[in-house]
């Protein structure tokens, strides 16, 4: 299976950091990608960063197409201008979407101090759980980066699924899953190539993934 990850849709609002703006795509590209995906059950969709476009653009399209997706919200931005509100997050969930944590401050989950790790993995999740009134069991690593200590902590904290951005195919049911992020310069044709030939990316990454997993033991 293949996981596609989206961020903002439309024009990035003024003030969005450059490293995030590089992942905003226009609505036309978004529609084309959804057309490509169609009803394929081996393609899973997710949305990172909790931008307002999640409810303004993505949700109506997904609903119209009868698809569900996973939304990874930055707890520290809830209610900020341009970001989802608590009501928006409940609305996503009420519409059949899944909600996971993208941490508190959108900082890289590498070399976190104990206090930072607690804030990112425990406090952020708790804040989302208070909004939803139910457990949050999924996380997506901000900016796709993580290290062994963070993965160990996510396991200890009993997260059920952790998404990365490692651009490889994923195996259903595995605890850590790679995703292909659609970036500002990607076209629907690029995504078509991933959907057709995603295994080529996987072959290249499999060795490093194995090495990495060995390092975890």
Return the number of the residue (76 or 142) whose C-beta is nearest Zn ion: 142
Return the number of the residue (5 or 153) whose C-beta is nearest Zn ion: 5
Residues that bind Zn ion (rule: CB under 5 A) add up to a total of 3
Q: Are 71 and 50 in contact (CB under 8 A)?
A: yes
Shortest Å distance, C-beta 51 to Zn ion: 10
Q: Which of residues 117-146 bind Zn ion (CB under 5 A)?
A: 142
Return the number of the residue (49 or 88) whose C-beta is nearest Zn ion: 49
Q: Which of residues 74-113 bind Zn ion (CB under 5 A)?
A: none
What DSSP character marks residue 182?
P
What mask of x and - would describe binding to Zn ion in positions 141 to 180, judged by CB under 5 A? -x--------------------------------------
Return the number of the residue (15 or 173) whose C-beta is nearest Zn ion: 15
Q: Which of residues 1-60 bind Zn ion (CB under 5 A)?
A: 48-49
Q: Which position's Cβ is nearest Zn ion?
A: 48
Return the number of the residue (48 or 119) whose C-beta is nearest Zn ion: 48
Of the candidates 7, 4, 11, 5, the one whose C-alpha atom is nearest the C-alpha of residue 20 is 7
Shortest Å distance, C-beta 74 to Zn ion: 7
Shortest Å distance, C-beta 30 to Zn ion: 17
**Conformational region of residue 52, where left means phi above 0, alpha means psi within -120 to 50, and beta covers everything else:** alpha
Shortest Å distance, C-beta 144 to Zn ion: 8
Shortest Å distance, C-beta 64 to Zn ion: 26
Shortest Å distance, C-beta 142 to Zn ion: 5
What is the C-alpha separation between 105 and 2, in angstroms, rounded? 27
Return the number of the residue (71 or 194) whose C-beta is nearest Zn ion: 71
Site residues for Zn ion per CB under 5 A: 48-49, 142
């Amino acid at each position: 299976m293949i996981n596609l990850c989206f961020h903002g849709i439309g024009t990035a609002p003024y003030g969005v950091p450059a490293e995030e703006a590089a992942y905003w795509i226009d609505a036309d590209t978004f529609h084309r990608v959804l057309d490509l995906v169609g009803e394929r059950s081996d393609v899973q969709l997710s949305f990172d960063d909790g931008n307002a476009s999640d409810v303004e653009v993505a949700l109506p399209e997904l609903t119209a197409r009868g698809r569900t997706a996973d939304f990874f919200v930055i707890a520290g931005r809830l209610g900020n201008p341009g970001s989802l509100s608590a009501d928006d997050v409940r609305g996503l969930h009420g519409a059949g979407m899944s909600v996971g944590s993208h941490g508190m401050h959108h900082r890289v989950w590498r070399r976190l101090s104990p206090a930072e790790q607690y804030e990112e993995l425990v406090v952020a999740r708790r804040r989302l759980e208070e909004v939803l009134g139910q457990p949050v069991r999924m996380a997506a690593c901000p900016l796709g980066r993580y290290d062994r200590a963070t993965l160990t902590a996510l396991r200890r904290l009993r997260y059920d699924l952790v998404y990365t951005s490692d651009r490889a195919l994923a195996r259903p049911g595995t605890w850590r899953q790679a995703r292909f992020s659609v970036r500002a310069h990607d076209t629907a044709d690029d995504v078509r190539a991933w959907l057709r030939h995603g295994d080529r990316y996987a072959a290249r990454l499999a060795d490093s993934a194995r090495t990495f997993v060995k390092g975890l033991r």
